[in-house]
């Protein structure tokens, strides 16, 4: 089976971001794209799934199918944010010219986390599409926990400097390493940290509207109680172009600006229980603030039946009830068979 491949862009789709060039917007790994795909360019170009132009799949009964706007449009709708409805063998991806971005990392000590995150809340609420800022709670190079901002400015580099300087003045940083770089280098910035992990737990998800006082308290508590120096919480910033895609046009459930808190437990070989307890405690602390529904890509094995659709009350900018109308041919019976077949083939589970 050939690996998923990217191909040339096609003309601009009205109401969606333009596609002038040749760079992948936010990574195109298949399952990540099918579930949505948050990334540091979502303010400018939308989610990974928003840049999917078409795909070839093999359904659970072995039937190959090609989907795009004109072929099996319901299945095409479903695989843009709804998760896994077959084995994707190729994808056609909308490419963008990005050039160099102004990006990197700004580290603040944990004692300044509250004031930093309060100001960050105001900054991202007013940010233009070019600026997306991730905040990460983790153990810094000096062995103490802190809050680390990961900005990505994808517009004119000179115009971005005041925005970066403001992010560097939210407190007294312990370090700041921001400069022009290729977007691909930004994506690989944390590879060494990821490789250093010895144990792992699936990331738990929780989408919250913004950095409210309760969210900030939960993040600070998570930092103060980290069960391992490898664990952390990454907070992704969803806004701009991603939030302007009409909610009914894809299966991705929430289009209002929000944050997704990705709670990642990593640890050395040994007892997993304290680390899983930390991840669960952090998830529970954030849950009262959470928007309804779940992000298919961040549901653990025990939660993979959870619907990505919100439950009532439905907030503005979230999923209408169309998910109920995905044709039967592509619905649960097929997905169950697919899970069984992939399990037989040695795969853990199918994200759904
Ligand atoms: C440390 C960490 C950081 C993350 N950061 C982000 C982030 O920044 N933004 C974000 O949106 N998400 C993030 N995620 C979640 C990520 O989107 C999901 O883990 C996603 O499922 C990974 O996709 P993948 O393509 O690598 O699939 P895999 O991890 O290889 O597989 C995931 C599931 O998809 C199935 N699958 C794999 N290939 C295919 C295919 N070709 N067709 C059909 N099904 C397939 C597999 O069987 C499996 O069930 C992160 C996860 C981790 C662990």
Query: pLDDT for 246-261, tens place per residue?
Result: 998 999 989 999 999 9
pLDDT higher than 60, residue 7: no
Q: Does the pLDDT at position 26 exceed 70?
A: no
Q: For ligand 1, is residue 26 a contact (CB within 6 Å)?
A: no
Report pLDDT for 60.
86
Q: What is the pLDDT of residue 337?
A: 44
Judge if the beta carbon of residue 342 lies within 6 A of ligand 1.
Answer: yes
187 CB under 6 A from ligand 1? Answer: no
27-31, 44-48, 286-290, 313-317 — which is least confidently predicted? 313-317
The model carries a pTM of: 0.83
pLDDT tens digit sequence for 199-219: 666 667 789 999 999 999 999
Q: Does 6 map to a domain?
A: no
Collapsing DSSP to helix, strand or coil, 228 comes out as coil
Q: Which residues pair with 151 in a beta bridge?
A: 133
Residue 150: how many other CB atoms lie within 10 Å: 23
**Residue 35 included in any domain:** no
| Ligand 1 and 338: CB distance under 6 A | no
Ligand 1 pocket check for 343: Cβ under 6 Å: no
- Nearest-CA residue for ligand 1 atom 43 is 87
Q: In 10 A of CB 221, how many CB atoms?
A: 13
Question: Is 350 a pocket residue for ligand 1 (Cβ < 6 Å)?
Answer: yes
Does 82 map to a domain?
no
Q: At residue 309, does pLDDT exceed 50?
A: no
pLDDT of 128 reads 97
266 lies in some domain: yes
Asked if the structure places residue 209 within a domain, the reply is yes
Ligand 1 center to 213 CA (angstroms)? 31
Tell how far the Cα of 87 is from the centroid of ligand 1, in angstroms: 13
Do 283 and 184 touch, CB atoms closer than 8 A?
A: no
Residue at 87 is within a domain: no
Ligand 1 geometric centre to CA of 37 (Å): 9
Distance 350 CA to ligand 1 centre (A): 10
Q: What is the pLDDT of residue 339?
A: 43
- Residue 120 is part of a domain; what is its CATH number? 3.40.462.20
Q: Residue 270: pLDDT band by 50, 70, 90 thresholds?
A: confident
Does 42 have pLDDT greater than 90? yes
Q: What does the pLDDT read at residue 322?
A: 46
How far does residue 31's CA lie from ligand 1's centre (Å)? 5
Is 244 a member of any domain?
A: yes
**Ligand 1 within 6 A of 297 CB?**
yes
Give me the chain's average pLDDT, please.
80
Q: Is residue 213 part of a domain?
A: yes
Which H or E run includes 286?
A: helix 273-286
**Residue 81 scores a pLDDT above 50:** yes
- Determine the structural domain holding residue 293 and report its residue range: 101-306
pLDDT the model gives residue 38: 93
* Test site for ligand 1: of 39, 346, 351, most ligand atoms within 8 A of the Cβ: 351
The CA distances from residue 45 to 79, 179, 207, 208, in Å, are 18, 21, 20, 21
* Span 310-339, pLDDT tens digits: 433 444 555 444 444 444 444 444 444 444
Rg (CA), the chain: 20
**Structural domain count, the chain:** 1
pLDDT over 50 (residue 20): no
């Amino acid at each position: 089976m050939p690996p998923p491949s990217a191909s040339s862009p096609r003309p601009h789709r009205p109401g969606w971001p333009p596609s002038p060039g040749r760079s992948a917007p936010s990574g195109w790994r298949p399952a990540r794209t099918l579930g949505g795909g948050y990334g540091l360019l979502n303010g400018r170009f939308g989610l990974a799934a928003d840049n999917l132009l078409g795909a070839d799949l093999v359904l659970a009964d072995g039937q190959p199918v090609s989907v795009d706007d004109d072929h099996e449009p319901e299945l095409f709708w479903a695989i843009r944010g709804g998760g896994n409805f077959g084995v994707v063998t190729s994808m056609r991806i909308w490419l963008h010219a990005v050039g160099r971005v102004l990006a990197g990392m700004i580290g603040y000590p944990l004692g300044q986390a509250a004031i930093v995150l309060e100001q960050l809340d105001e900054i991202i609420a007013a940010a233009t599409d070019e600026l997306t800022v991730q905040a990460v709670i983790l153990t810094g190079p000096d062995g103490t926990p802190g809050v680390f901002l990961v900005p990505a400015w994808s517009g004119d580099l000179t115009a971005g400097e005041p925005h970066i300087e403001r992010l560097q003045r939210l407190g007294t940083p312990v370090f700041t390493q921001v400069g022009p770089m290729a977007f691909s280098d930004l994506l690989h910035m944390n590879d060494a940290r990821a490789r250093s992990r010895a144990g792992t737990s699936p990331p738990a998800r929780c989408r919250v509207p913004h950095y409210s006082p309760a969210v900030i308290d939960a993040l600070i508590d998570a930092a103060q109680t980290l069960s391992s120096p490898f664990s952390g919480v990454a907070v992704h910033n969803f806004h701009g172009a991603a939030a302007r895609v009409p909610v009914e046009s894809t299966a991705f459930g929430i289009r209002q600006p929000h944050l997704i808190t990705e709670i990642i437990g990593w640890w050395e070989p040994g007892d997993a229980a304290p680390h899983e307890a930390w991840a669960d405690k952090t998830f529970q602390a954030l849950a009262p603030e959470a928007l309804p529904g779940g992000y298919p890509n961040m549901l653990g094995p025990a939660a993979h039946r959870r619907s990505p659709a919100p439950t009532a009350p439905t907030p503005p900018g979230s999923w209408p009830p169309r998910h109920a109308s995905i044709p039967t041919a592509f619905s649960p019976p097929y997905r169950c068979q697919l899970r069984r077949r992939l399990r037989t083939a040695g795969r853990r589970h199918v994200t759904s």
